[in-house]
Amino acid sequence: MSTPVPASDRPDGRPEVPPPPGGAPLRVNPARRAAANSPTHLPVVDETSAGGLVLRGGSERPEDFSAAVLLRRNRTGRLEWCLPKGHLEGRETPQEAAIREIREETGIRGSIQAELGVIDYWFTGEDRRVHKVVHHYLLRAEGGRLTVEDDPDGEAEDALWVRVDELAARLSYPNEQRLAVAALELLESSRNLRDALRADAFPTERPDLP
């Protein structure tokens, strides 16, 4: 199941391009400045990423499943809770990229059990408009150790297990909060999915698996 989740990726709800500061006289034609800075004049680039929720389950109850979540510091220095994800490399499929990115960013090896949803949004850089599509999946944790030490980009400060029923309140971005709600609803509605995610359940005490 793939559920589009349209929304801005900015947690504070501000527009992508800030308004010009006031209080100073304009020295150029405002219409000309607006035309020159219009996003429609920037080249458009498509980007595809993948990631999701890698889960471990301690019981048959949906609320007892936990997901590996990252703590990252944004450009303003504020810590943000977010899901592991990243760009596709080479000829990777979104599924292959999701497994690889989650392993690199969290240290957890997982296998995909279900599609979760797609986030589709736009943002503006200094020299381009980017159309971003991010595929998300539910994965079963099958091994590894929760760590950010092996992340090649070194963007995350920490990784934590968070209960799925608490996940929406923890995540920083509205799009990912909605994915967390969708994940909990899937777990509540499908006993088969819960059983699949619990198969060979990820241990809670042993730090490493072969």
Q: Tell me the pLDDT tens digit for each residue of 7-32.
A: 444 444 444 444 334 333 334 344 44
Q: Report the distance separating Cα 159 and Cα 72, nearest Å.
A: 9
Query: Collapsing DSSP states into helix, strand and coil, what is residue 76?
Result: coil
Most confident range (mean pLDDT) of 5-14, 35-44, 56-65, 134-143 is: 134-143
Average pLDDT, integer, range 179-192 = 95
For the record, the structure tokens of 117 come out as 């949803």
Kindly tell me if the per-residue pLDDT of 51 is higher than 70. yes
Find the range with the poorest average confidence among 38-47, 59-68, 135-144.
38-47
Q: Report the distance separating Cα 111 and Cα 139, nearest Å.
A: 5
pLDDT at 199: 65
pLDDT at 21: 41
Single-letter amino acid, residue 132 = K
Average pLDDT, integer, range 92-118 = 96
Percent over 70 (pLDDT), the chain: 75
Q: CA angle 127-83-94, nearest 5°?
A: 70
Q: Report the distance separating Cα 141 and Cα 144, nearest Å.
A: 8
pLDDT at 121: 87
For the record, the structure tokens of 140 come out as 């079963």
pTM, to two decimals: 0.74
